[in-house]
Amino acid sequence: MIQASVPQTAPHEALLLFRMPAADPVVAPWRQRHDAACKDGIPAHITLMYPFALPDAIATKDIQTLEAVIAGVAPFTATLADTGWFGDAVLFLRPSDPAPFIGLTRDVQAAFPDWRPYGGAFERIVPHLTIGDDGQTAQLGEAEWDVTARLPIIQKIDAVEWWSGPSAASGLGGWTRARTFHLGA
C-alpha cells in the first residue's frame, strides 16, 4: 500500500537582524555545528528584534513606519572584539559598542510596542552574534579559543533584514529573507 505524503507545516515566526557577513569566515564552521539558527538557514547576525511580525501579516502603513524608523539611523561600523557567554550553554561575540544596536532596538520597540526583544524574556538588551547555543560546553570552549585568535571582526552596518521561516522548534529549517531596509536612507 502506498501512502500519500503529507507536507509538514509549522507555525512561522520572523525576526529583524543585522547581517554580519564579515564574521562568516571566522564563525561559520562553529555555527554550522553548534547554532540552531544556522541550521535553519539564518546567516551570521546580530538580532534587532525577535520575534517580530510575519512579513505577510503586517499592514503597509506599519511597513512604512518600520522603514522610516530604520532609515532614521545613520550607518555605523561594528567591531566584534570579544566573546561572552549566557550561562555555560551559549557562546557569542559581542560588539565593542552596543549602543547603536540597543538604540535601534528601542526605536523599533517604541514604534511597535506589542513586539519586545525575545518576547520580553530578558530585562536587558544584549546585542550579540551567536556562535553556538547547543550547550556543548567543551566544544564551545574550543570555538571560543579559535574565534578569539581571529578577532577583531569589523563590519559596516548599513541595513536591517527581515527574515521568516518555520518555528525553530519544528526543526524544519528553510528561513528566507523577506525584505531589506537601509539605514540612513
Domain boundaries, the chain: 12-180
H or E element that contains 69: helix 60-71
What is the per-residue pLDDT for 2? 41
| Separation of alpha carbons 26 and 70, rounded Å | 28
Q: What strands, in cross-sheet order, belong to the sheet with 176-182?
A: 45-52, 12-19, 159-166, 176-182
The pLDDT tens digits for 11-28 are 799 999 999 999 999 999
The pLDDT tens digits for 58-107 are 999 999 999 999 999 999 999 999 999 999 999 999 999 999 999 999 99
User: Residue 128: helix, strand or coil by DSSP?
Assistant: coil
Using CA of residue 115, residue 117, residue 120, residue 124, what is the dihedral sign?
negative
pTM here is 0.91
**Topology annotation, domain 12-180:** Cyclic Phosphodiesterase; Chain: A, (3.90.1140)
Crossing angle of the two packed helices 24-34 and 137-148, in degrees rounded to 10: 180
Asked whether the beta carbons of 55 and 178 are under 8 A apart, the reply is yes
Cell of 184: 540612513
